[in-house]
Chain A
Amino acid sequence: MFERFTKAARAVVIDAQAQARELGHRPIGTEHTLLALTTVDMTGGDGAGAGGGYRVGNGAARVLREAGVDRDYVRAAIIRHAGDRSEAKAILDRDAEDAAALKAIGIDLEAVRAAIEENFGTGALQLVRPAPKKKGLLGRFSSATSGHVPFSPRNKKALELSLREAIRLKQNFIAPEHILLGILREGQGLAALILAERGVDFDALRDDLTRSLRAPAA
């Protein structure tokens, strides 16, 4: 199933972890996935936001925005419901320990990093720390990003339903739109509550998402 996630869909799942971590929340709930859906921007070169190029990457963000749901609204709603427990995290400390250990054998980690970032961009080099082996979908997601924050059972369910939505639509890929459809089908999470509070018409939203998925390439 994970193999079917598009670049944008993967970015959403990964960003959901980042959003939860940034807020100091655990586990990662549907609300963090929703926040990621409004945050991940795969516009690429089309910065002008002029229809065409935008839709392909993360169509869910566009559909949500048209329904009056944007990143700022979702983030504020999450904080209203769950509070803001943001904290600076300790990943930097662990990197510093590794840097010291490498220095002991004559390797300057910062020099290596600088050489790589020169060609590949900031943050391109990440030290790999395999998490303990986990089975199934969410284990893969969390180990792929060194996340210690687990996904809530409801959020897992919603992500699994995104596959069902893709199958229902006879599509062999899972895009951000499918993820949002999964959240809507699950229907019980904080994400669905936030959308309901905003007065979003779920059926209309489903139709818009399906339309976005079926639209031909620009």
Chain B
Amino acid sequence: MTEATDLAAAAGSTDPRVGLRAVVALRRLLEGLERLQVANARAKGWSWQEIADALEVTRQGVHKKHARLLPMPDPRED
């Protein structure tokens, strides 16, 4: 997997195991990026609607997926 030729071969591989494994890894990366960026947007004061528009999904969808991962503000911190 170190040579460029190996990479190219793997990328075009017709072996489902190789291709599907790449899909799984890509999904994990995607979900990680999404969490990071949604949290960042919320921290910067974006509304759920604004985030949903940017992600091209519904507000309800993005809220359902991410709201529980983000902390409730402690009222004493204001």
Contact = CB atoms under 8 A, between A and B. Distances in A.
Interface of A: 2-8, 10, 56-57, 97-107, 109, 112, 116, 120, 124-130, 140, 144, 173, 175, 215-217
B26 A100 contact: no
A139 to B, nearest CB: 12
Contacts of B24: 98, 101
Contacts of B32: 125-128
28 contacts: A3-B67, A3-B72, A7-B74, A8-B74, A56-B76, A56-B77, A57-B77, A97-B25, A98-B24, A101-B24, A101-B25, A102-B22, A102-B25, A102-B26, A103-B1, A104-B18, A105-B10, A109-B25, A120-B40, A125-B32, A125-B36, A127-B25, A127-B32, A128-B31, A129-B28, A130-B31, A175-B74, A217-B75
Interface residues of B, number: 30
Closest CB pairs A-B (n = 5): A128-B31, A104-B10, A7-B71, A101-B25, A127-B28
Contacts of A120: 36, 40
Given A112-B29, A128-B31, A10 B76 contact: no
A2 B68 contact: yes
Given A106-B11, A127-B29, 16 more contacts: A5-B71, A6-B71, A6-B72, A6-B73, A6-B74, A101-B21, A101-B22, A102-B26, A103-B1, A104-B21, A107-B26, A120-B40, A125-B36, A129-B28, A173-B75, A217-B75
A6 B71 CA distance: 6
Contacts of A106: 7, 11
A121 B22 CA distance: 26
Contact of A128 (B35, B72, B73): B35
Contacts of A116: 33, 36
B56 interface: no
A72 to B, nearest CB: 27
A100 B29 CA distance: 13
Contacts of A216: 76
A215 B7 CA distance: 60
B71 A10 contact: yes
Contacts of B36: 116, 120, 124-125
